[in-house]
């Protein structure tokens, strides 16, 4: 039985096209080129940072970010806001919370992203990030911290993300129920790999209520679920979820 759901951020909740397009223009390459290089990094198991080195060898990313901030101090630059959320985020979170699950957002993000997420007033119980936790995925300590935030045993926690290396495999190793969402370059490519059989593979966050709390989702669809507020603990879902292939 799943009692809590934890979400990654980039390309799970936040659609990053605008961010990467902004970087492409700043680096002086066509957006399609930079997006394609990012896809290549995903296919070759290279980090995001490799894309910058490929299109601009010797790129000092920290210096570039600082210069961008100085030039456009009030802009989003490589940040995000509520307009960058995928359209299924709020309805999916609302349905899961109404089904009685505890919801946590926790991913590898800088401090600025934490402020942005908290400003969105999303229907979740906790929002943390790697900068605040002091540890990044895929470190097991990150998932131990996540389990504490989720207030549930590991086997009763689903972790939702778009990557095998950062999300599915380490959350499975921690004893959680891994869910791989097929969106973004990493999500689409990783969903085709054999290791994706370790996870439930979904195409939309709206698949989660039926997957993790099927009885509650069915009742909510038929009757409309009551709205809940605050951080009160609600009854556990009556559905179950296994860590097998979707």
What pLDDT, on a 0 to 100 scale, did the predictor assign at position 219? 54
pLDDT score of 78: 87
Higher pLDDT, 181 or 245: 181
User: 116 by DSSP, 3-state: which?
Assistant: helix
Q: Are 174 and 125 in contact (CB under 8 A)?
A: no
Please give the Cα distance from 77 to 156 (Å, whole number): 38
pLDDT at res. 6: 98
Going along the chain, which residue ranges are E strands?
Answer: 4-7, 102-107, 126-129, 157-161, 177-181, 200-202
Q: Where in the chain is the domain with CATH 3.40.50.1000?
A: 4-14+82-223
Tell me whether the omega of the peptide bond preceding residue 138 falls within 30 degrees of 0, making it cis.
yes
Res 49 pLDDT > 80: yes
Judged against a pLDDT cut of 60, whether residue 235 lies above it is answered with: no
**What is the pTM for the complete model shown?**
0.85
Looking at residues 23-39, what average pLDDT do you find? 97
Computed over every residue of the chain, the mean pLDDT equals: 88
Q: At the top level of CATH, which class does the domain 4-14+82-223 belong to?
A: alpha beta
Is the four-CA dihedral 85, 26, 162, 9 of positive or negative sign? Answer: negative
């Amino acid at each position: 039985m799943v009692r809590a759901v934890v979400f990654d951020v980039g390309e799970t909740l936040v659609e990053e096209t605008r961010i990467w397009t902004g970087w492409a223009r700043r680096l002086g390459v066509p957006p399609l080129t930079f997006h394609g290089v990012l896809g290549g990094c995903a296919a070759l198991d290279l980090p995001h940072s490799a894309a910058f080195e490929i299109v601009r060898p010797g790129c000092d990313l920290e210096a570039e970010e600082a210069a961008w901030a100085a030039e456009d101090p009030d802009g989003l630059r490589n940040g995000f806001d509520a307009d960058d959320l995928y359209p299924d985020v709020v309805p999916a979170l609302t349905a899961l919370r109404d089904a009685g699950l505890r919801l946590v957002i926790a991913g590898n993000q800088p401090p600025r992203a934490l402020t942005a997420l908290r400003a969105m007033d999303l229907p979740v119980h906790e929002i943390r990030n790697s900068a605040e936790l002091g540890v990044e995925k895929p470190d097991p300590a990150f998932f131990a911290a996540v389990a504490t935030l989720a207030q549930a045993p590991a086997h009763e926690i689903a972790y939702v993300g778009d990557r095998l290396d950062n999300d599915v495999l380490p959350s499975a190793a921690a004893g959680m129920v891994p869910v791989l969402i097929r969106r973004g370059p990493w999500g689409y490519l990783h969903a085709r790999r054999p290791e994706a059989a370790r996870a439930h593979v979904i195409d939309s966050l709206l698949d989660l209520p039926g997957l993790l709390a099927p009885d509650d989702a069915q009742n909510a669809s038929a009757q409309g679920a009551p709205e809940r507020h605050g951080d009160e603990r609600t009854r556990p879902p009556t559905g179950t979820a296994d860590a097998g292939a979707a």
